[in-house]
């Protein structure tokens, strides 16, 4: 997991492929499988950050298999993997498939903060690509994001703010959109490029 994160920061595509391959191999051992969901998720995030959607898809598929095998019933973790899959499908251009994944995953996620952030990010990315009102309705209140910047982890909410800003601008709320983007840029500049903050902003 640490190697994946380091490779992501360096933009080293070959290293990400190799690290993800090692994590996938570990995931084949039953005794390590449950622990390895986090490792696989890390591999997915790193792969998506450098556009390696095929690597991300393999890791996502394995993580979902493990999640279903261990949990049996839908869970926050399962929902998070589904919405992460939706982001991968957006990057691959499969928007309708992404929409289906996002709508399946969102009800499982609940209001767990970081997981909810990922779910909303996926929903808005798909909704913006398809101009889908059902998904765009998940846009969080601007005041909630403002509070998150003050009390939460700014780098986590930067990408979400960056997606919400164009939605505000499209409604003519230019001052609010500008304020949101400035916060997003400040958050991205002050943190490591985790969760794709830099390219999104």
What pLDDT, in 10s, does the model give residues 21-30?
A: 888 887 666 5
Question: Do 180 and 165 touch, CB atoms closer than 8 A?
Answer: yes
Among 64-68, 110-114, 146-150, 186-190, which is the least confidently predicted range?
110-114
- The residue-averaged pLDDT of 25-38 equals 66
Q: What does pTM read for this prediction?
A: 0.61
Q: Give the mean model confidence (pLDDT) for residues 31-42.
A: 70
Nearest-CA neighbor of 166 among 193, 133, 197, 139? 139
123-152 core/surface letters (b: 16 or more CB in 10 A; e: else): bbbbbbebebeebbebbbebeebbebbeee
What is residue 198's predicted lDDT score, i.e. its pLDDT? Answer: 45
Residue 105: closest CA among 130, 128, 88: 88
Which two three-digit tokens encode residue 100?
């289906």
Tokens 């957006």 belong to which residue? 90
């Amino acid at each position: 997991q640490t190697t994946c994160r380091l490779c992501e920061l360096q933009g080293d595509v070959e290293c990400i492929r190799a690290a993800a391959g090692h994590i996938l191999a570990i995931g084949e051992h039953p005794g390590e499988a449950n622990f390895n969901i986090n490792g696989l998720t890390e591999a997915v995030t790193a792969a998506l950050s450098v556009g390696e959607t095929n690597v991300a898809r393999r890791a996502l598929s394995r993580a979902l298999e493990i999640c279903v095998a261990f949990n049996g019933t839908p869970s926050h973790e399962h929902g998070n993997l589904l919405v992460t899959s939706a982001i991968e499908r957006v990057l691959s251009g499969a928007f309708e498939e992404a929409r289906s994944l996002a709508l399946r995953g969102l009800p499982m996620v609940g209001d767990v903060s970081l997981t909810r952030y990922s779910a909303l990010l996926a929903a808005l990315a798909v909704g913006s690509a398809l101009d889908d009102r059902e998904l765009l309705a998940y846009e969080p209140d601007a005041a909630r994001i403002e509070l998150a910047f003050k009390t939460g982890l700014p780098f986590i909410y930067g990408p979400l703010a960056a997606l919400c800003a164009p939605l505000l601008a499209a409604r003519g709320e230019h001052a609010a959109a500008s304020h949101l983007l400035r916060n997003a840029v400040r958050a991205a500049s002050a943190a490591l490029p985790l969760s794709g903050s830099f390219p999104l902003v």
